[in-house]
Amino acid sequence: MGDDAELWNREYSREGIPSSFRTRPSSPVEGLLPLLKRSNARKIVDIGCGAGRNSLFLASNGFELYSMDFASDAVKRMRQRARSDGLSRKLHAICQDVGTKWKLGTGSLDAAIDTFCYKHLIGRKEQERYRSELGRVLKPGGIYLLSLADVNDSYYGALPKKELYGNMVVRDPGNGIRSVLYSKREVETVFSGRFKLVAYKRKVQSNTMYGRRYRRRVTHVFVFRKREKSQ
């Protein structure tokens, strides 16, 4: 995954897609805040945290964050912002590939968030390891937020598609980064063994991609809870 990490480092330098330049948290994470508080969550993992916009938001609301990303430049930027915002004690930055074993304790976390990270895991082994590690580190009943693009997304969905490992894969011409596009059913199917779906919505929004405005037709937003026992 080293080449992919370098692609992301260049993307964070160029700031072409929203996740590489926005500082405000994503709206699904903002919307999750009441549930996190009602559930008395304390420790949260931010999977594919990038420059930390969601991690910093949650840390500023009193949660303890374990923030993972393999783009070293983005992780460095997040650490700098955490220091300047006085949040270093609340935010633990981990530079690693989320498709490998996570440096986190079993059953140590109350919640996990993933905003457009899982979609960049292309290989079946990496996807399976991610799901396995997610199930390992979350406590029973732990909350998992996942947002990602639908197959009909007006930006990614319009790109040339290639079937790879049984997935529909596209490559962003602006940065060379690959993505898997999912239907709602596909996501529910792969996570259903360890997780129960408790909320779902389709989000319609407009985003600037490489200086051009797109109406992003469909973004999936899933909220799962880890089952007491895997099915």
Instruction: Tell me which residue of 199, 92, 100 sits closest to 144, measured CA to CA.
Output: 199
Q: What is the DSSP-derived secondary structure letter of residue 120?
A: G
Look up residue 98 and give its two tokens: 């989320």
pLDDT value, residue 166:
82
The torsion of the CA quartet 181, 5, 73, 28, rounded to 10 degrees, works out to 20
Residues sharing a CB contact under 8 Å with residue 53, sequence separation 6 or more, in sequence order: 19, 22, 23, 24, 25, 26
What is the CA angle 223-47-116, rounded to 5? 65
Domains of the chain: 2-148+183-204+220-226 (3.40.50.150)
pLDDT value, residue 231:
66
Look up residue 117 and give its two tokens: 């990270």
pLDDT value, residue 199:
97
197, 184 Cβ separation under 8 angstroms? no
pLDDT value, residue 215:
63
pLDDT value, residue 216:
57
Q: What element of type H or E holds 62?
A: none
Q: How far is CA 147 from CA 66, 102, 129, 169, in A?
A: 18, 20, 19, 17
The torsion of the CA quartet 80, 210, 222, 140, rounded to 10 degrees, works out to -30
Between strands 167-171 and 161-164, the pairing is antiparallel
Q: What element of type H or E holds 104?
A: none
pTM: 0.93
Residues sharing a CB contact under 8 Å with residue 136, sequence separation 6 or more, in sequence order: 102, 106, 107
Tens of pLDDT, residue by residue, the chain (231 residues)? 557 999 999 998 887 787 777 789 999 999 999 999 999 999 999 999 999 999 999 999 999 999 999 999 999 999 999 999 999 999 999 999 999 999 999 999 999 999 999 999 999 999 999 999 999 999 999 999 999 988 888 788 888 999 888 888 999 999 999 999 999 999 999 999 999 999 999 887 777 776 777 665 568 999 999 998 876
Look up residue 31 and give its two tokens: 């919307």
